[in-house]
């Protein structure tokens, strides 16, 4: 992992935010690109919307990158661009909760504060036969209190926390755990009883609401594609997407359904019906929320739009051209 042993606390902070809800292999290339684009807290604080969102494009959970910039701006205004050295102080920054604060404080500043993420919770739910729902903050705090004497007994809290996280990620896995390799096996109650798959207790999942919409593929006479700035869902604010048919200020000509795209978000499922169409003979003036673009990939695109355009390109409808962007 490129952030392991990194001398820069800023880089560790970036990696920990990226790793929230995201797998390590996905994060690796983003981590390098993001640090190249914004090598310091000052650079991040000064970042404009489009390059910031473009650097995060496809990583998801976009509130994370907005909070990163907000926290960087706060640090520049109040702390001379320096990260706090304690978990309690770190938690005062936007986007940093108990887990991330503990990770940064222990790894970078040697503070003895336990990390409790999903991997750590799984290890000790099995070891201690805990039936708590660790998606809830009070239960994670309770486990952290139980772990406190153990982390205080080590001289290197950061190594302790990373070891516990790796134990869950690589050995005490959700399915088919490698119990024969686990150093905690002699004291693991779930392993002794053969009930590893019963722990931790999964949280109750609510049925996700369904959203359906039609998006349209429209090109002008020079082959430029019409895209629209996303409006409504704050999560995707600042990103560009294929226009939704029901929001266009004109009626497309000769619409024809040419595909379907489905995507699951954390709080809803979305089905987009893709329609190819022609421009009407008389086009109205388009506002700033629309853009004709020769190469859509130069803009920060929603994941759905990026995947739809990539699929069309694979099918022989290339979207990238060398024309200008208006």
Residue among 16, 57, 224, 241 flagged as catalytic? 16
Residues 6+ away with beta carbon under 8 Å from 311: 259, 261
Task: List CB contacts of 272: < 8 A, sequence separation 6 or more.
Answer: 212, 213, 214, 215, 260, 261, 262, 263, 304, 308
Nearest to 242, CA basis, from 230, 232, 251, 260? 230
Residue 100 · residue 16 · CB < 8 Å: yes
Strand-by-strand arrangement of the 269-278 sheet? 210-217, 269-278, 253-264
Residue 106 CA neighbour count, 13 Å, CB half:
27
Eight-state DSSP code of residue 244: B
Annotation marks residue 16 as catalytic: yes
CA distances (Å), origin 101, targets 90, 157, 280: 5, 13, 54
Name the 3-class secondary structure at 233. coil
Q: Could you list the active site residues?
A: 16
């Amino acid at each position: 992992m490129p952030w392991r042993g990194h001398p820069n606390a800023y880089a560790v902070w970036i990696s920990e935010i990226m790793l929230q809800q995201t797998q390590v292999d996905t994060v690796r290339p983003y981590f390098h690109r993001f640090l190249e684009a914004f090598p310091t807290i000052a650079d991040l604080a000064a970042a404009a919307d489009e390059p910031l969102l473009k650097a995060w494009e496809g990583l998801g959970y976009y509130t994370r990158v907005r909070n990163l910039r907000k926290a960087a701006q706060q640090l520049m205004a109040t702390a001379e661009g320096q990260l706090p050295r304690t978990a309690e102080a770190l938690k005062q920054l936007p986007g940093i909760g108990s887990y991330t604060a503990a990770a940064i404080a222990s790894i970078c500043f040697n503070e003895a504060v336990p990390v409790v993420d999903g991997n750590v919770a799984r290890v000790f739910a099995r070891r201690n036969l805990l039936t708590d729902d660790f998606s809830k903050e009070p239960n994670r705090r309770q486990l952290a209190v139980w772990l406190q004497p153990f982390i205080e007994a080590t001289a290197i809290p950061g190594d302790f926390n990373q070891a516990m996280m790796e134990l869950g990620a690589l050995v005490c896995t959700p399915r088919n755990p490698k119990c024969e390799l686990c150093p905690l096996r002699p004291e693991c109650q779930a392993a002794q009883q053969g009930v590893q798959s019963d722990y931790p207790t999964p949280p109750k999942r609510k049925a996700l609401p369904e959203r359906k919409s039609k998006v349209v593929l429209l090109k002008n006479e020079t082959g430029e594609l019409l895209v629209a700035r996303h409006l409504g869902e704050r999560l995707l604010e600042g990103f560009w997407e294929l226009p939704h048919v029901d929001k266009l200020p004109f009626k497309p000509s000769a619409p024809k359904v040419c595909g379907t795209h489905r995507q699951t978000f954390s709080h809803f499922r979305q089905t987009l019906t893709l329609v190819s169409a022609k421009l009407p003979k008389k086009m109205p003036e388009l506002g700033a929320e629309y853009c004709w673009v020769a190469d859509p990939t130069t803009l920060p695109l929603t994941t759905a739009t990026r995947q739809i355009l990539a699929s069309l390109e694979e099918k022989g409808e290339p979207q990238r051209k060398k024309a200008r962007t208006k």
